[in-house]
Amino acid sequence: MYKGGSHSEPCCVKGVTVSKALSCQGSECSPAAAEGTGAVSWPLGSASCRSGPRVLWAPGSWLCCPVQVPGPSGRCGLSPQSWGSNMLDVCFRAVTHLVLFYENRLKDHHLVIPAVLQGLHALSMCEVLAPGLAVSVLKAIFQEVHVQSLPQLDRHTVYSIITNVMRTREEELKGLGADFTFGFIQVMDGEKDPRNLLVAFQIVRDLILEGYVLGPFVEELFEVTSCYFPIDFTPPPNDPHCIQREDLIVSLRAVLASTPQFAEFLLPLLIEKMDSEMQSAKLDSLQTLSACCTIYGQKELQEFLPSLWSSLRREVFQTASERVEAEALAALHGLAACLSRSVLSSDTEDLLDSFLSGVLQDCRHHLCEPDMKLVWPSAKLLQAAAGASFRAGHRITSSVVPLLLEQYNQHLQSSQRRTILEMLLGFLELQQKWGHEDEEESALLCSQAPLCSVLFSALTDPSVQLQLVGIRALTVLGTLPGWCLPGGRGEAGAGSSGGLSGYGPVSVPCREEGRRSTHSLRARCLQALAAVSTHPGIVQETVPVLLQCLRQVPKAGACDVVAVCQSLQRVAVQCQRDAESCWYYHQTVVPCLLAVAVQAAMQENAHSPVGKLLLEEEVLTAMVPVVSAASAHLCPELAAQSVSQVVPLFLDGEVSFLPQDSFPCPFQPFQVSGGRLVALLMAFVCSLPRNVPIPQQDRLLQELLALSCSCDCPFTATAAAKCFAGLVNKYPPGQQLDQLLETAVNRMEAGLAEGPLRTQALALLLWVTKALVLRYHPLSSRLTDKLLGLLGDPELGPAVADGFSLLMADSPDVLHKGCHADVRIMFRQRFFTDNVPKLVQGFHAAGPGVKANYLKGLSHVLNHLPRPVLVTELPTLLSLLLEALSCPDRVVQLSTLSCLQPLLLEAPHVMSLHVDTLVTKFLGLTSSPAMVRAPPAPFPAPLPPLLPYKPRVIRALAKPLDDMKRLVRKEAVVARGEWFLLGSPGR
């Protein structure tokens, strides 16, 4: 652009020297040596504007904008309208002269060509090209320039010109017809540079997809691109352009798979490369075939189907590469899907049926071979074809499933039966994909009875592995449409319930002849019942069986009750997908669990062993997720109906809604025996949606507050504190909440002051603080400061330090998003910002006996921060973390190592400044009896800071090699080997 000074100074724009001289003679201004300089100046007014403004045009990215050379006369009296009109006229005329000038220069000496191409490239980006000029430029390049004799940069410029013109002058180029395609073929033919090939491949793809005329040059266009297939390119080291082999492969594949017109030339090439010995060529060919199948039709594939099937079958049967096998199966899936999409006329052969007949003919007999060598490859081929469409799946499944069922009954070995059942499972999973299209035509319905018989027999087989496959198959079968009768009773689910219900806690036959315990067999049967409970009809059959197992506790132990609860929880999670199943499960299971627990609480007073069993912490803890999962996904109306019954049970002992209402004595929920059941109350009320009103909520909160502060049973007090905190988290803001919290704070401060229940008061403080921190309540800062102050307490300090993990971690049973708690985003980052400076300050001010508490609390906070935040903030706390490694507390050591790990990996430049301290601390930990994973891995810092420590570390790691723990010895061997190799070539 013009910046003042003499008008005769030359300037260089993109390699083209342009004179700024303007010649004005008399009343006319003419181009200043346009033929020789490439610069054009045109008048903007009448003859009197000799000293007026002038406009200079030169090739460049600013070509669309005129350069104004101001004069003393302003605009020479022109109106805005005439000024704009003349400007537009000047623009077109100037660009036209420049284009003609550069086209003529293409005929000059070859040394001029690069500069001319740069000028044309600038002009190709101009928005004011007159119609026909873009076509004229490309014609001139096609006729006058031998592109492949130019340097790489100039060839790239030619491709850029073509790209720009295709983007802005598409209709004009299409007017050239096939001449443009032929011209580009001449330009690209022989290109070798990968940078240019990426652009050239994109141009070819645009030619095809944008509808340019290929005419008689389809084969030539294919040849000029397919000569690069398969891509064989290794990028040079330190390549600034970062072009990878995969980039070229993907770009070329997009060209070859862009049009069906290439099919007659491409498919023979792909078959040839699939038969080669190079694995890379096989992979590229198979992936390209898969891409082509998305646009090809029956017409393009018909001639080559036998050869393609032969090559794909060979790759699956004979290949030693899992990747080649996977790509061959994907290509077969694509072929079958392509044939499935074809629209058939009355006189057209159904190629899909004939193709699948060939696949079945070549694979089916392998399924019947006694040695079963090619069973899995054949099954994989059949499943790949069957998964392509509903028609393909029906054709293959109806032929293969009866054969597999027959083979299952013929083979007696469990390993062979497991192989056959796993193949059956694959076909069942395919039915999940296509079964919804037409239930009445399901290929499995005709084999319903023998299939169920096979699966039920697998569940009672002595082989554990066969049982597991049978459970998975029944799980899939229960989700298929058409397998549940109109009455709601599922054939698969009902059969499995009947077949497995005999294996409850009462009558479990030991079929392993001493090789398996009764408990393990019972647990697998319970898992099977839960696995098949995926349909409402099945749930109504299996849930009563599981509840019956739960009621028969006199002949079961705590581990058996826990196993039943785990199965019930799995069923509850599966029922959450269906509103009908969810409500049935809730109104069946929750009252039953409460009834069993209430009866156990009453029997405990009579010192009954049943009561003691069901009130054990392990059993109640297993019941909590069952109740929570059954309540979390209820609609508000049904949840309100249920809460109106459960809350009076705990406040008033109202047991009328329980299935067994003949209890020996009144239920006193907040007494010693019934207090443990607060855990079930917590699981229920804390899982409800926030918009469900809880009756007598204030009274309930007062009872929970009193129980949590006065109960001497830690389990009961903690459950009451968690329930109180869960309700406080969802309590609407306002004066009532403030009064409630003030009462709670007073109770907590009184409990923390003195007495035997300080631990219970601390638990309440921690859970209430967490509830308020999650919802950003203002009182959370006051409670957090109270916790920070308690870190210096000799008695409660260690428990408070561990409590910081509770504040930052996700709780599994309360105060998480799954139970609809009020959890604000980034609460951990906010807690870190507000409290870590106080922790650091308290550490420096604390006495020697309690410093470890501050380090433990800090490490818990850091361990639960998101990693990006942790890496950013750790350098400022590094000195404290290094000191924490010397803390005798094992938890502090492990937590600190977990904090340092991301910093070692992602900020080695920071850690290298402390390499001496780190190596010393780590080596000290290798001899710590409490450290299981003590031997440090190689330090990811630059080599020079580490090499001086190599002998010292190797000597120190010799001692852990004799450690009693196998894991320590294993880690020591790995770490010592890495240090031995430190500094060696190639490391």
HEC-encoded secondary structure of 211-272: CCCCHHHHHHHHHHHHCCCCCCCCCCCCCCCCCCHHHHHHHHHHHHCCCHHHHHHHHHHHHH
Q: Give pLDDT, residue 218.
A: 94
Best CA proximity match to 356, nearest among 370, 377, 339, 374? 339
The 10s digit of each residue's pLDDT in 832-861 is 999 999 998 998 888 888 888 888 898 889
- The residue among 887, 908, 929 that closes a domain is 908
Higher pLDDT, 729 or 944: 729
Q: Give pLDDT, residue 612.
A: 74
Within a domain: 941: yes
Within a domain: 728: yes
Identify whether residues 864 and 937 lie together within a single domain.
Answer: no
Average pLDDT, the chain: 79
Q: Give pLDDT, residue 67.
A: 41
On whether the CB atoms of residues 282 and 315 are closer than 8 A, the answer is yes
- The residue among 908, 937, 952 that closes a domain is 908
Identify whether residues 856 and 724 lie together within a single domain.
Answer: no
Q: Give pLDDT, residue 319.
A: 77
Within a domain: 61: no
Q: Give pLDDT, residue 421.
A: 92
Q: Give pLDDT, residue 721.
A: 94
Q: Give pLDDT, residue 220.
A: 94
Within a domain: 783: yes
- At residue 165 the predicted structure's pLDDT band, cuts being 50, 70 and 90, is very high
Q: Give pLDDT, residue 43.
A: 36
Within a domain: 496: no
Within a domain: 873: yes
The 10s digit of each residue's pLDDT in 212-266 is 999 999 999 999 999 999 998 888 887 787 888 999 999 999 999 999 999 999 9
Q: Give the span between the Cα atoms of 562 and 619, in whole angstroms.
A: 6
Best CA proximity match to 751, nearest among 767, 762, 740, 736? 762
Length in residues, the chain: 987
The 10s digit of each residue's pLDDT in 18-65 is 333 223 333 333 333 333 333 333 333 333 333 333 333 444 434 444
The 10s digit of each residue's pLDDT in 908-943 is 777 777 778 878 888 877 776 655 443 344 444 444
Going by DSSP bridges, is the β-strand pair 16-18/40-42 parallel, antiparallel, or unpaired? Answer: unpaired
What residues make up the domain containing 555?
A: 523-695
Q: Give pLDDT, residue 496.
A: 47
Q: Give the span between the Cα atoms of 475 and 570, in whole angstroms.
A: 12
Q: Give the span between the Cα atoms of 632 and 585, in whole angstroms.
A: 12
Identify whether residues 718 and 855 lie together within a single domain.
Answer: no
Report the range of poorest mean pLDDT among 371-385, 394-408, 664-678.
664-678
The percent of residues in the chain predicted with pLDDT above 90, rounded, is 35
Within a domain: 26: no
Q: Taking the chain, what is the end-to-end CA distance rounded to the nearest angstrom? A: 54
Higher pLDDT, 615 or 216: 216
Identify whether residues 789 and 804 lie together within a single domain.
Answer: yes
Distance of CA 145 to the CA centre of its chain: 51
Asked if the model's pLDDT at residue 742 lies above 90, the reply is yes
Q: Is the dihedral of CA 515, 517, 523, 529 positive or negative?
A: positive
Non-local (6+) Cβ contacts of 410 within 8 A are none
On whether the CB atoms of residues 585 and 668 are closer than 8 A, the answer is no
Q: Give the span between the Cα atoms of 874 and 870, in whole angstroms.
A: 6
Best CA proximity match to 598, nearest among 667, 537, 530? 667
Report the range of poorest mean pLDDT among 654-663, 739-748, 784-793, 829-838.
654-663
Q: Give pLDDT, residue 94.
A: 81
Q: Give pLDDT, residue 908.
A: 74
Asked if the model's pLDDT at residue 79 lies above 70, the reply is no
What is each CA distance from 714 to 707, 759, 762, 765, in whole angstroms? 11, 8, 11, 14
Distance of CA 702 to the CA centre of its chain: 45
Report, as an integer, the average pLDDT of 622-641.
91
Identify whether residues 970 and 895 lie together within a single domain.
Answer: no
- At residue 381 the predicted structure's pLDDT band, cuts being 50, 70 and 90, is very high
Q: Give pLDDT, residue 78.
A: 43
Report, as an integer, the average pLDDT of 490-515.
41
Within a domain: 785: yes
Query: 188 in helix, strand or coil?
Result: helix
Total domains in the chain come to: 4
Give the bridge partners for 25, in sequence order.
Answer: 28
Q: Give the span between the Cα atoms of 564 and 560, in whole angstroms.
A: 6
Identify whether residues 808 and 868 lie together within a single domain.
Answer: no
Give the bridge partners for 672, in sequence order.
Answer: none
DSSP 108: S
- The residue among 893, 908, 923 that closes a domain is 908
Higher pLDDT, 6 or 168: 168
Report, as an integer, the average pLDDT of 967-982.
84
Report the range of poorest mean pLDDT among 89-93, 131-135, 267-271.
89-93
Q: Give pLDDT, residue 306.
A: 93
Best CA proximity match to 390, nearest among 422, 357, 345, 352? 352
Identify whether residues 685 and 720 lie together within a single domain.
Answer: no
Identify whether residues 675 and 745 lie together within a single domain.
Answer: no
Token pair belonging to 133: 């000029």
Please tell me the pTM assigned to this model.
Answer: 0.57
Q: Give pLDDT, residue 465.
A: 84
Higher pLDDT, 373 or 682: 682
Report the range of poorest mean pLDDT among 496-500, 652-656, 857-861.
496-500
Identify whether residues 689 and 808 lie together within a single domain.
Answer: no
Q: Give the span between the Cα atoms of 10 and 114, in whole angstroms.
A: 19
Higher pLDDT, 343 or 470: 470
Asked if the model's pLDDT at residue 777 lies above 60, the reply is yes
Report, as an integer, the average pLDDT of 810-822.
90
Asked if the model's pLDDT at residue 492 lies above 80, the reply is no
Higher pLDDT, 86 or 340: 340
Identify whether residues 744 and 867 lie together within a single domain.
Answer: no
Identify whether residues 584 and 667 lie together within a single domain.
Answer: yes
Identify whether residues 819 and 852 lie together within a single domain.
Answer: no
Higher pLDDT, 702 or 882: 702
Q: Give pLDDT, residue 652.
A: 85
